[in-house]
Structure 1
Amino acid sequence: MDLIQRIFEAGVIGAGGAGFPTHIKLNSEAEILIVNGAECEPLLETDKFLMRAHSRKIVRAMEEVGNHIKAKKLIIGLKRKYKEEIKELKKAIEDLDSRVELFLLDNFYPAGDEQILVYEVTKRSIPAGGIPLDVGVVVSNAGTMMNIYEAINDKSVTYKYVSIIGEVKKPSIIKVPIGISIDKCIEGAGGAKIEDYSVILGGPMMGKIINRCEVKNEVITKTLGGIILVPQNHYIVKRKEAPIKHIVNRAKSACIQCSMCTDLCPRYLIGHRLRPHRIMRAVSFSEINQEVLKEALICCECGICELYACPMGLSPRTINVYLKNEFRKNKVRYKKQDIKTTAKEIREYRKIPVSRLISRIDLTEYIGEKINGPYDIEALEVKIPLNQHIGKPASPVIKVGDRVSRGQIIGKVDMGDFGANIHSSINGIVYEVGENIVIKSEENEVIL
């Protein structure tokens, strides 16, 4: 069985972001393979842990992938402040006599954005609406490489390493089965320190916010790498609770067209025609300028415009997301730029320091928290979504009442499909089959 077939069978997808099916991404040739170890979101520690604790697996997987895609260079991009991770990776590279190189980045946000990382490493700007392959590069993150290593050894994706931090008694790296509920993860980190809290799924800049009542219904997926507990009245929570109508009305009354949202936009700075201030102007004055509004389609939703740049506290990113959804409903797509994309010269002076960003979003108290673990958390019950990735959902291949074992395929796609296989993450009995597959263990207790 070749590498692509093993990756497909194991259900490997991008371990962060939208979850691009890896067997499709790697079915190509590229000059450079870049592994993203920059941990894009502030405060999260998952990729750092993987590079520190599983450096040899990551390097071995990179060699296999590099050979498959015929890459001339294999590079791990990580921040130069990651001293321990750099040490472990260098040791692994030396021990394995590997051609993998390290590229050290400054501590800025969003260094881990795929297109920003490609520019930092290669000085090549990916065209707006394009992908890294357009400039001869394939990018995967550290978690994906770990899963590829497991796939090479015939192990499917059944678990996830997750950072759980903030208002928990024991900030930790936890290893959990796919489909475990968020409340069980919180229990595994000693429980919440406060009674009234909200949860950020992912990172503070781009993550999804849920309230305390929803933690039993939300589950760990193949792409979720962080859980952050914050007070219910936290600045970030309040901002993201605002309805779109209110956000648009505020833009109409308060946008001063200072253009700071554009001046600090990472995608604008690498040469993309994305001008959030023009979009805000079009929305504020009800201008029907489709070409300007369509620029929202190339927004990476990093949140700098609304959580850092705007002096009026407005929400260009949220408006961009709303416009993107409307365009997609009408099947409007952004046409990739054919002209050469060139970064702005001023870009080097407009990188956002992570320490200042964390202060701006009022998360300073969580900097430097001791992160415990990793701790294994088993589950009596999992709810596994059949759609954990962009593209086609998997189709169930089991029925209610079936006994399944960890690693068994429960949802399948065909090799040519833009999707990924789904596997059971525990041994147990199938209780429900729908958009999610619910499996309950026959064990009597949860083992921590």
Structure 2
Amino acid sequence: MDLLNKIKEAGVIGAGGAGFPAHIKLNCKVEYFIINGLECEPLLQSDKYLMRNKSDEIVSTAEKIGNAIEAEHIVIGLKEEYYDEVLALKESIKKLNSKVELHLSKTFYPAGDEQILVYEITGRTIPPGGIPLNVGAVVSNVGTVFNIFEAIQDKPVIYKFVTVIGEIAKPSIIKVPIGTSVEECIEKCGGTNVEDYVVIMGGPMMGKLISKEMAVDRVITKTDGAILVLPADHYLAQKEKMTVQHMKNQAKSACIQCHYCTDMCPRFLIGHPLHPHKIMRGIALSEDNDEVFKEALICCECGICELYACPMGLSPKRINVYLKGKLRQKGVKWNNTADIFQGHVLRDYRKIPTGRLISRLALNKYMSQKFEEGQEINPQKISIPLRQGIGAPADPIVKVGDKIEKGQMIAQIEEGKMGSNIHASINGEVVEINQNIVIRAIQVEVIP
């Protein structure tokens, strides 16, 4: 079986982003194969854990993938402050006599954004609405590369390394079977330090906020890498409660057109025609200005505009998200009117220092948390979504009552459709099938 088929069979998707099926993404020939180890969001540690502990696997697999897609350059991007990780990767490169290179980045946000990383390494701006392939590159997260290493050994994707941080008794990086509830992950780490809390799935800038009640049913998927627990009255939690109407009213009454949101926008700074201050002015005046509003379609939702740049505490990012929905309902699509895009001359001076960003987010107390590592959850019940990442849901190939083994394929993507195969992450019995496949662990009887 060739590499792409092994990747498809194992159900590998992008581990650090939207979850694009890896067998489709890597079906290409490129100049640059870039491995993203920059952990875009503040506070997260899962990719660092992999680079420290699985450096041989990452380096060897990166070279195999790079050779398969005929890449002239195979580059692992990570932050220069990741001393232990840099050392581990350098030792692996030397030991394996590998042609893999390291690109060491300054610590800024969002250094791990795919388009920013491509710009930093190649000097090329991906066209707005485009993908790295448009400039001769393809990007995979280090977690994806490690999953491909396992796929080559015929091991499917059945677990994630998850950073559990914040108001947690024992901040940890834990190995979690796919389909395990977020609540169980929190309990495995000693529970919370506060009674009333919220959870952000992912990082503080772009992660999805859920209530502690929702954490009971929300499960870990192939794309989840972090659980951030915050007090329910934290600034980030309160900001999420604001209605769209209130955000529009704020824009009408408080936007001073300082255009800091534009000046610091990472996509504007690599040459994209995105001007959040114009969108805020437009929304303050009318909702019938699609010519201006269509710029919202190329917003990456990094959150710098509203969580760092705006001196008035307004919400350009969420206004953009709102407008994206309205424009898509109308069938409005982004079309580039230029062929060449160039970075801003002041870009290097407008990068957002991650440490300063963490202070702005009132997250300083979590920067120095020490992590426990090496623990694995053994859930008694899992609920695995049939749709994970971009594409169609997989079709179940098991039925209620079936006894299944860990690693067994339980749902398969239809031939010709985009999506990923799904595998059982524990031994057990299928007890329910809907949008998820629910498996209860089989208790092993101990004979005295």
What TM bracket, shorter-length normalisation? Answer: over 0.9
Deviation string 1:349-404 (CA, Å, 9 cap, x unpaired) is 00000010000000001111111112111111011111111121212222111111
**Deviation, structure 1 residue 67:** 1.0
Q: Which residue of 1 aligns with 2:164?
A: 164
Q: Which residue of 2 aligns with 1:55?
A: 55
Please say if residues 171 and 369 of structure 1, whose CA atoms lie closer than 8 Å, have aligned partners that are also in contact.
yes
Letter aligned with residue 72 of structure 1: E
Letter aligned with residue 388 of structure 2: Q
Please say if residues 392 and 419 of structure 1, whose CA atoms lie closer than 8 Å, have aligned partners that are also in contact.
yes
Structure 2, unpaired ranges of 5+: none
Letter aligned with residue 431 of structure 1: V
Deviation string 1:23-65 (CA, Å, 9 cap, x unpaired) is 1100001001000000100000000000000001101111111
Deviation string 1:219-245 (CA, Å, 9 cap, x unpaired) is 101001000111110000000121212
Q: Which residue of 1 aligns with 2:103?
A: 103
1:228-243 paired onto structure 2 within 5 Å: 228-243=228-243
- Matched residues in 1 for 2:286 and 2:444: separation? 60
Q: Which residue of 2 aligns with 1:176?
A: 176
- Matched residues in 1 for 2:205 and 2:66: separation? 32
Please say if residues 21 and 419 of structure 1, whose CA atoms lie closer than 8 Å, have aligned partners that are also in contact.
yes
Q: Which residue of 2 aligns with 1:5?
A: 5
Query: RMSD of the alignment, in Å?
Result: 1.2
Q: Which residue of 2 aligns with 1:420?
A: 420
**Deviation, structure 1 residue 337:** 5.2
Structure 1, unpaired ranges of 5+: none
Please say if residues 395 and 414 of structure 2, whose CA atoms lie closer than 8 Å, have aligned partners that are also in contact.
no
Q: Which residue of 2 aligns with 1:191?
A: 191
1:279-358 paired onto structure 2 within 5 Å: 279-286=279-286, 288-336=288-336, 338-358=338-358
**Deviation, structure 1 residue 410:** 1.6
Q: Which residue of 1 aligns with 2:375?
A: 375
Deviation string 1:57-99 (CA, Å, 9 cap, x unpaired) is 1011111110111001100000000000000000111111100
- Matched residues in 1 for 2:25 and 2:372: separation? 34
Q: Which residue of 2 aligns with 1:434?
A: 434
- Matched residues in 2 for 1:330 and 1:157: separation? 38
- Matched residues in 2 for 1:140 and 1:338: separation? 28
Letter aligned with residue 426 of structure 2: I
Please say if residues 130 and 336 of structure 1, whose CA atoms lie closer than 8 Å, have aligned partners that are also in contact.
no
Deviation string 1:260-316 (CA, Å, 9 cap, x unpaired) is 111100000000011111111111100522121111111111000000000110000
Deviation string 1:194-242 (CA, Å, 9 cap, x unpaired) is 1111111100000111111111111101001000111110000000121
Letter aligned with residue 334 of structure 2: Y
Please say if residues 8 and 415 of structure 1, whose CA atoms lie closer than 8 Å, have aligned partners that are also in contact.
no
Secondary structure in structure 2 of the residue aligned to 1:222: coil
- Matched residues in 2 for 1:371 and 1:224: separation? 18
Please say if residues 200 and 227 of structure 2, whose CA atoms lie closer than 8 Å, have aligned partners that are also in contact.
yes
Secondary structure in structure 2 of the residue aligned to 1:28: coil
Secondary structure in structure 2 of the residue aligned to 1:215: helix
**Deviation, structure 1 residue 436:** 1.1
**Deviation, structure 1 residue 444:** 7.0
Q: Which residue of 2 aligns with 1:205?
A: 205
How many residues of Structure 1 are paired with residues of Structure 2 in the alignment? 445
Secondary structure in structure 2 of the residue aligned to 1:241: coil
Please say if residues 127 and 337 of structure 1, whose CA atoms lie closer than 8 Å, have aligned partners that are also in contact.
no
Letter aligned with residue 97 of structure 1: N
Identity %: 57
Q: Which residue of 2 aligns with 1:276?
A: 276
- TM-score, normalised relative to structure 2: 0.97
Q: 1:338 to 1:396 in 2, by over 3 A?
A: farther
- TM-score, normalised relative to structure 1: 0.97
Q: Which residue of 2 aligns with 1:127?
A: 127
